[in-house]
Structure 1
């Protein structure tokens, strides 16, 4: 098997994501223009080191136990190629533990890095990347928009994860409100019941269908389309301020939902002006500090390009 040459280097860029979008639990996801970037260079010495800059600096592992490194290793193992020694520099902007897809972005970054490093040796296509990322993340709703950008519908089949990318209406203006507190996705999922009432399931099916129409064609329907009965109320006790602020926002006609597993709040404005109104409402009603991120929809998704070693000096 051909080895990856020493000195080969790639640059990866992956967007943050917001999953669920209210009623689309474990199915819908949206990529937004906030990015983690990664430089990976093959070295002679075995093993891996990670230089983390920005979010997670001094907190996340900087050795082979790092999630990005493990994701690279997973892709190399599936490709049947020994993983070379690696130097990684991670420039992180996506908040951790806030429902913005940071773990999904790390996984996608690692697999995209492997894709670039393996170019000309083993080719990984888009479906391979989605499958490998879902292997590690467990479900495709965050990794699909991180890989492909835009609005994605993701689902599982006997042949693995599948996705459909849709173009978001230009009037849709996302706002993500980020608290200081974090939330464990594992804890959030543990609060879900094993079954839900039949009428609640029907309610969410109707709202999910409506949400697709609202996001790609009719933003004026976003408030009605983001109602949910499957997951947010069950998780409310774990993030009471998130729940209270969403109630305030929705009472003022704003399409506010929990971003991913929370505790961040996603507001899907039908115009940029709605974002300003939402940010002002949170500022006036919050008991703790919240950061307002007014973000564009990312339409491109994850990218990987060859990176000159000289540029790292």
Structure 2
């Protein structure tokens, strides 16, 4: 058997480090930017999970909200629950009830033409099912849809207190739509009449049997 030939060349030694030579620094990865909860609303159309089109597509959030240009205004909107399950008047007659959705809103004029809406604060029935995203929350999505492409130039904070049970025939969605349209009227300083507001809430909800008594606060026979 032939003998394996040894490698005649000596193994190369790594070059010696020069005295005082320092190890090159390993570059540190940059920290990921923290997303701001408040996003400006740009023109466009988004659809909330509940099917309400929201005239809002959030553009990348600024590092800081625009500076205020004037004093804040506040409002509390109270909208009653309703029922249209009234025997022979089923889905024809509607009646307001003594259970109220409350929406507390603060509006601040800003150095911008955008409408900036903070995440919605919610307390009440089924909190895990109510989105905080203003583009998905039925109240604020309705407000954004109503204001459309208007150059509002305001920042809005919304807190909701809702004792109305969801999905129990007490008009919880109708109350939210009424609150959203009334909120849009206030934020946009639109000066809509009660009749105009009624037409808008019916257009969003699709039927007047719950929203009409919630808006008009009493008995309602839609025509």
Query: TM-score with structure 2 length normalisation?
Result: 0.61
Unaligned 5+ residue runs, structure 2? 1-68
Shift of the 81–24 alpha-carbon distance from structure 1 to 2, 3 Å rule, reads: farther
| Aligned-pair Cα RMSD in Å | 2.2
Deviation at 1:6, TM superposition (A): 6.3
Q: Is 1:87 paired with 2:157?
A: yes
Say whether the 8 Å CA contact 2:85–2:169 is kept in structure 1. no
Shift of the 26–108 alpha-carbon distance from structure 1 to 2, 3 Å rule, reads: same
Picking from 116, 140, 146, the partner of 1:69 is 140
Matches within 5 A, 1:138-153: 138-153=206-221
CA distance in 2, matches of 1:62, 1:6: 25
Unaligned 5+ residue runs, structure 1? 156-313
Query: TM-score with structure 1 length normalisation?
Result: 0.44
Alignment correspondent of 1:132: 200
Deviation at 1:42, TM superposition (A): 2.0
Shift of the 48–42 alpha-carbon distance from structure 1 to 2, 3 Å rule, reads: same
Q: Select the structure of larger CA radius of gyration.
A: 2
CA distance in 1, matches of 2:139, 2:70: 20
Deviation at 1:26, TM superposition (A): 2.8
CA distance in 1, matches of 2:188, 2:197: 13
Work out the number of aligned pairs and report it: 149
Say whether the 8 Å CA contact 2:126–2:166 is kept in structure 1. yes
Say whether the 8 Å CA contact 2:100–2:162 is kept in structure 1. yes
The higher relative CO (CA closer than 8 Å, separation ≥ 6) is in 1
Alignment correspondent of 2:191: 123
Q: Secondary structure at the match of 2:196?
A: helix
Q: Deviations over 1:82-124 (max 9, x none)?
A: 47432110010100010000000001011112222333xx211
Deviation at 1:5, TM superposition (A): 6.2
